[in-house]
Amino acid sequence: MEFTQLGRTGLKVSQLCLGTMNFGPQTIEAESFAIMDKAHELGINFFDTANVYGWKLGEGVTEQIIGHWFAQAGGRREKTVLATKVYGRMGDWPNQQRLSALNIRQACEASLKRLKTDYIDLYQFHHVDRLTPWEEIWQACEVLVQQGKVIYVGSSNFAGWQIAKANEAAKARHFMGLSSEQSLYNLNDRMIELEVIPACKDYGLGLIPWSPLAGGLLGGVLEKIEKGRRASEDTQKEIEKNRAKLEKWEAYCKQIGEQPADVALAWLLRNPVVTAPIIGPRTLEQLNGALRALEIKLDEAALKALDEIFPGPGGEAPEAYAW
């Protein structure tokens, strides 16, 4: 496993980030423990979660599973760069969601309790809150940093101008601001190349792509269906919408002798702004399979071929549409 810095920070994280969203709903606690143990064995030190994961209102099921794993000791917490998120609704009362100073404080305390730790390495805003001023958000975060409960702060699902606004507000307060942005990004979803990636580059944010396989579309879905695997109704709709591209994609991967999922991850890792794609294995087999991506080095010819299959928006704004 190779390690890289999270954006402009000095924090070293693995080039793959373990996503834990399946822990609880699809992967039982014992299997989740095995996946996290294996991740450490493979050198993956970067784990991502959120207070809403587990999808049972207010319970934080996934955070609880991770907390139970940390409680086994053995250096598990110390070896892990832990990222979680705040914003989603965690109760029926009006201040149990979004980014008010009150919710940030209460949500952080609740996450710390569930995770059985006294600090969060990377505390991420799960979504932008258009109703709360940045002065309030940053004041709440400054207190958490001063108390040692949060070390770095990141965003998720932000637009480029929102990243700029957040970090300019932080700069005015002599606060570090955002260290990372977690965005939807993969070969089939390249919209953030217009403004989010340039903003990350300019402000020194590490990009953490979620859904790197486009919900399974880039994982060899056509070949899997041919072999008898069933696809959900939503996946079937996406397949039909993108069938022409997917046929070319899987043919190209077969031509170069690599698995589609591995090539999709390798393409993301080729981008210097990308810190670590989030992989969300449901099983140990899926976790082990992701490591091949670190060995694949895509040359300029390969990148050109992939651009022809998945064109993207045409580069950065405004050149992509104005010149």
Of 238, 204, 208, 199, the residue nearest 221 (C-alpha):
238
The answer to whether the Cα torsion of 228, 229, 234, 239 is positive or negative is: negative
Residue 302: the pLDDT is 98
The edge-to-edge listing of strands for the beta sheet with 278-279 is 206-210, 178-184, 150-156, 120-125, 81-86, 46-48, 17-19, 278-279
Residue 235: the pLDDT is 85
- Mind listing the domains of the chain with CATH numbers? 3-217+259-299 (3.20.20.100)
User: Could you tell me which residues come within 8 angstroms of residue 244 by beta carbon, excluding any fewer than 6 positions away?
Assistant: none
Of 59, 52, 54, 68, the residue nearest 23 (C-alpha):
54
The secondary structure of the chain in percent helix, strand, coil, rounded to multiples of 5, reads: 45, 15, 40
Ordered per-residue pLDDT tens for the chain, 323 residues: 999 999 999 999 999 999 999 999 999 999 999 999 999 999 999 999 999 999 999 999 999 999 999 999 999 999 999 999 999 999 999 999 999 999 999 999 999 999 999 999 999 999 999 999 999 999 999 999 999 999 999 999 999 999 999 999 999 999 999 999 999 999 999 999 999 999 999 999 999 999 999 999 999 999 988 887 777 888 889 999 999 999 999 999 999 999 999 999 999 999 999 999 999 998 898 898 899 999 999 999 999 999 999 999 999 999 999 97
Residue 233: the pLDDT is 82
Query: From the DSSP assignment, how many helices (H) and strands (E) are in the chain?
Result: 12, 10
Residue 178: the pLDDT is 98
Q: How far apart are CA 1 and CA 3, in angstroms?
A: 7
Q: How far apart are CA 32 and CA 9, in angstroms?
A: 29
CA 97 to chain centroid, in Å, comes to 20
Residue of 53, 152, 185, 203 with catalytic role: 53
Q: How far apart are CA 146 and CA 29, in angstroms?
A: 33
Residue 227: the pLDDT is 83
Phi, psi of 210 (to 5 degrees): -105, 160
- Annotate 115-133 with b (16+ C-beta within 10 A) or e (fewer): bebeebbbbbbbbbbeebe
Summarised one tens digit per residue, pLDDT across range 151-178 is: 999 999 999 999 999 999 999 999 999 9
Residue 185 catalytic? no
